[in-house]
Amino acid sequence: MKTMIDLPYRDRYQAGRMLGTELSGRRPAPTVVLALARGGVPVGAEVANVLRAQFDIVVVRKLGVPWQPELAMGAIAGTTKVLDFRLILKLRISDDELEEVVTRESEELARREKLYRDGLPAIPVRDRSVAIVDDGLATGSTMIAAVRHVRSLGPKKLIVAVPVGSAEACSRLSREADECVCLATPEPFSAVGEWYSDFRQVSDAEVREILKGHRSVSSVA
């Protein structure tokens, strides 16, 4: 893991270019870049530009504790569900409460998939080298769901790549993926947004525009 990076990043686009440059030295370099929507999309788009790789998204939804939604008790991506059973048992979250959250977030995941893709099929990843990108890793729970989902699709190699993350999360992901590339692991670490000068929320419209633009370029190429 590299740590000699000048922080904060200006924005997600700058971070993506730096991350893409780092990944370009891998052999073989990833031929598909998948970005976690929404925050990872500007980062992943720049990585794909540097690598001249195909670009797509992975929609992941955090499963928040019913009375404290910002606290994750798991995450879902595609048909993959990852649960923090220790937390669920500690907080005495019932099966009904868990199922209610899973159902609601599954519906939102499906809504976003339809909205972002606008009828476009997912790019196939079987037997290909794939990089899964986000704007950073705090706990890593949503990225783990993404990795396990993409792993089920049969890629040849799976790399997790982020501009910044907690040392603990990057270590967790290095055990889930074939490789975890994290440009900076500053200490102490409390939130991804602390390490960006511009960390404004990525809109649905921005995700659609970036994804459509890359698909248009791919179809011409």
DSSP-H helix ranges across 24-166: 41-51, 85-90, 95-117, 141-151
CA atoms within 13 A on the CB side of 159: 23
Structure tokens at 137: 């890793």
CA atoms within 13 A on the CB side of 204: 10
pTM given for the model = 0.93
Looking at residue 158, its pLDDT comes to 97
Looking at residue 216, its pLDDT comes to 65
From the options 3.40.50.300, 3.40.50.2020, 3.30.1540.20, 3.30.420.40, give the CATH code of 12-59+124-220. Answer: 3.40.50.2020
Contacts of 163 (CB under 8 A, 6+ apart): 5, 9, 15, 16, 18, 19, 43, 135, 136, 182, 183, 184, 195
Query: Rounded to the nearest 10 degrees, how much is the dihedral formed by the CA atoms of 195, 109, 157, 171?
Result: 40
Give per-residue pLDDT as tens, 44-97.
999 999 999 999 999 999 999 999 998 889 999 999 999 999 999 999 999 999
Within 10 angstroms of residue 182's Cβ, the number of other Cβ atoms is 26
Give per-residue pLDDT as tens, 97-106.
999 999 999 9
- Give yes or no for a cis peptide into 121 (omega within 30° of 0): no
Q: What's the mean per-residue pLDDT of the chain?
A: 93
- Give yes or no for a cis peptide into 148 (omega within 30° of 0): no
